[in-house]
Structure 1
Amino acid sequence: MKYDDASWHYGGNFPSDLPDSAGATHTGMFLAWAVLVGLGGELFTVEEPELVNELCNRTTTPGSFFLKVCDGKLTDEDLSDRGNKFAVAYYEDGQYLADYEEMLGSSLASPYHVPDVWASFDTLRPRLDERLARWSASEG
């Protein structure tokens, strides 16, 4: 199952003043968070540990990580079983994008203008942690 694809964003009504990579920032933020909290798929623990190290050491940005590792496509293979259950409940239903816009994009020309930097991630992360905690409590 494909949750998101950067080409869906930069291939549509996309700001002409931005590079295509800006269409991957929001998904990169979600994937980076998922990997860092242990919701990433086997790809990140088995096949791409050096890229995960770059993420943990913040020597790559979330969007760049997503583009390098997933070629701009977030699928169920990129997440663990638990990560997929959470993604279906949170990402797929649009709540993630609403939170992303509220936390990062409300004062910008568009959500695509959110910078792919760790400061953006650090602003968003508490909301993602909160959503996961709330979802986990309702799951079990």
Structure 2
Amino acid sequence: MKYDDASWHYGGDFPADLPPSAGVTHIAMFAVWCWENGLAGDEILEEADALEAIKRRRGTPGGIFNKASDEKFIDADLNDEGNRFAASYYGDQGYYIDYAKSVGATFSTLYHVPDTWETYDTLKPVISHRYRTFHNMQKSWWRRLWPIAKQ
């Protein structure tokens, strides 16, 4: 499954004053958060350079994402838990709303949000909160079924 692709953003109303790489910033911020927080898929885990670059903050989130994923955010980039979270939060547009509120409010378009670690650090606690909420809801769901499953 493909969650997002930078090429989907290049056409149409994409700002003429920006390079195409600006179309990946919003994708990269989410993917890099997932990879940094133990939700990377096997293909990404094999990209030791990308994970090391995240750890040491070498390059930008977008640059790291582009190199590891060729500008495409797909289910293979995440493990099972990561895919459940992405389907719920990224795929359901909640991430875009949080992105706009957290880092996009002062820019003329969301594509103008800079691909920097400062942007990532602003967004990181927002995604972390959403993940904790998602994770707690998953545990609550299981606990509600547990008495039924034990019968």
TM-score when scaled to structure 1?
A: 0.97
**Per-residue CA shift, 1:24-73, capped at 9, x if unaligned?**
0000000100000001101222x211221011100021111111111110
Match of 2:102 in 1: 103
DSSP-derived class of the 2:115 partner: coil
Structure 1 residue 20: deviation in Å? 0.2
Greater Cα offset, 116-125 or 63-72: 63-72
Aligned: 1:13 with 2:13: yes
Match of 2:70 in 1: 71
Q: How does 1:39-118 map to 2 (within 5 A)?
A: 39-45=39-45, 47-118=46-117
Distance between the aligned counterparts of 1:60 and 1:30, measured in 2? 16
Distance between the aligned counterparts of 2:11 and 2:48, measured in 1? 31
DSSP-derived class of the 1:12 partner: coil
Structure 1 residue 11: deviation in Å? 2.2
% identity of equivalent residues: 46
Could you list the runs of 5+ residues in structure 1 that have no partner in the other structure?
A: none
**Per-residue CA shift, 1:61-108, capped at 9, x if unaligned?**
111111111111000000000000000000001000110010001110
Q: How many residues align?
A: 139
Segments of 4+ in structure 1 off by > 6 A? none
DSSP-derived class of the 2:24 partner: helix
DSSP-derived class of the 2:30 partner: helix
DSSP-derived class of the 1:13 partner: coil
Distance between the aligned counterparts of 2:138 and 2:106, measured in 1? 34
Aligned letter for 2:86? A
Distance between the aligned counterparts of 1:17 and 1:95, measured in 2? 27
Distance between the aligned counterparts of 1:9 and 1:19, measured in 2? 11
DSSP-derived class of the 2:108 partner: coil
Aligned: 1:34 with 2:34: yes
DSSP-derived class of the 2:95 partner: helix
Structure 1 residue 13: deviation in Å? 1.4
Distance between the aligned counterparts of 1:79 and 1:125, measured in 2? 17
Structure 1 residue 12: deviation in Å? 2.6
Aligned letter for 1:108? F
Distance between the aligned counterparts of 2:74 and 2:105, measured in 1? 27
Aligned letter for 1:72? E
